[in-house]
Amino acid sequence: MTQRLAELKKRFSDAAEQVRDSDALEQMRVEYLGKKGEVTALLKELKSLSGEQKKEAGQRINGFKREVEEHLAALGKRLREEELERKVNAAEQYDITLPARETGGSYHPITLVQREVEAVFTAMGFVVEDYAEVVDDYHCFEALNVPKHHPARDMQDTYYLENGQLLKTQTSAAQNYIMRKYGAPLRAIFPGRCFRNESTDACHEDTFFQVEGIMIDRDISISNLIYFMKTMLSEVFGQQINLRLRPGFFPFVEPGFELDISCLICGGEGCPSCKNSGWLELCPCGMIHPNVLAAGGIDSEEYTGFAFGLGLTRLAMMKYGIKDIRDLNSGNLTALSQFNAE
């Protein structure tokens, strides 16, 4: 027994030195400690011994068993550490000369057109202003010459909050604030999100974006309005845009207009996209009403100005050929991530 134990110990320690991975380790565990393993076989043989001999051999075999267990445990720990180190090293091997990976991120089409509009107007001396989405009745309507119970309110089905405030239905809601902030003369645009209780279809959403612009100075006329709109739209669409004005009614401008642009698809010849008229309705605008200037603290005898409210959502749809407005609020990244700044 002593002899066999000594041989076994030697065999075990030789074999242990050859172990390189966890599979080999498991094999050794089975070979020595498994039900049919070497140590178990030795323990079974104890039956044939008696008295002192049995006790002594038993102690030795159990001592060996503990050694084997401890040795295998230590080996397992070392293998796991080595494995981890290999993985870390592999992960750290990178080539700093490789070109940067594309992030896959992209801007929302509305953000893209908003930035273009901002860039063109900034270059023409306009400031870009931001304004709240929750506003009061005064700013959204009364300061814009739309008193309580005015029928024009019907066109903007408004979300009122319990505290009496409301979700702004139009970016015009910032006009008064900006007039008071800067006084005249003044050139500002203010993009923003608007809300109306609309039933949703391919052309209507309850949440959409507009960009409003105002220019106030001495002797501002409709010609200035036409010039700035034409310049901005030609830049955004990357082609010469013709436009026309038709009368339109909005209480905060006098006179008020609907601005149409020549159809982008047919260039004005007439096609299904423009219902054969050659024109697309784009943006309401007008000369700021004296009451609105007065509410903003501006002397309407001395100053005049124009205002426009451009549908940024509509502009993005026209520029990128987006057919359904609902795609824009959908969070559908496949649809939304295909547009990139030029």
Nearer Cβ to ligand DAH (32/195): 195
Half-sphere exposure of 314 (CA within 13 A, CB side): 16
Nearer Cβ to ligand DAH (113/144): 144
What's the CA gap between 338 and 320, in Å, rounded? 10
- Residue appearing with tokens 């549908």: 311
Nearer Cβ to ligand DAH (228/250): 250
Nearer Cβ to ligand DAH (279/306): 306
Neighbour-count burial of 43, counting CB atoms closer than 10 A to its CB (0-12 exposed, 13-18 middle, 19+ buried): middle
Least Cβ distance, residue 332 to ligand DAH (angstroms): 26
Cα–Cα distances in angstroms (integers) from residue 105 to residues 186, 333, 334, 338, 341, in the given order: 37, 10, 11, 10, 12
Positions that interact with ligand DAH (CB under 6 A): 170, 172, 212, 250, 253, 256, 284-286, 307-309
Least Cβ distance, residue 240 to ligand DAH (angstroms): 24
- Residue 127: phi, psi to the nearest 5? -90, 155
CA angle 281, 256, 194 (to 5 degrees): 65
Least Cβ distance, residue 271 to ligand DAH (angstroms): 27
Q: Is the dihedral of CA 313, 319, 324, 326 positive or negative?
A: negative
Least Cβ distance, residue 102 to ligand DAH (angstroms): 38
What's the CA gap between 258 and 286, in Å, rounded? 8
Least Cβ distance, residue 189 to ligand DAH (angstroms): 11
Nearer Cβ to ligand DAH (112/178): 178
Least Cβ distance, residue 250 to ligand DAH (angstroms): 4
Nearer Cβ to ligand DAH (26/198): 198
- Residue appearing with tokens 């100075």: 217
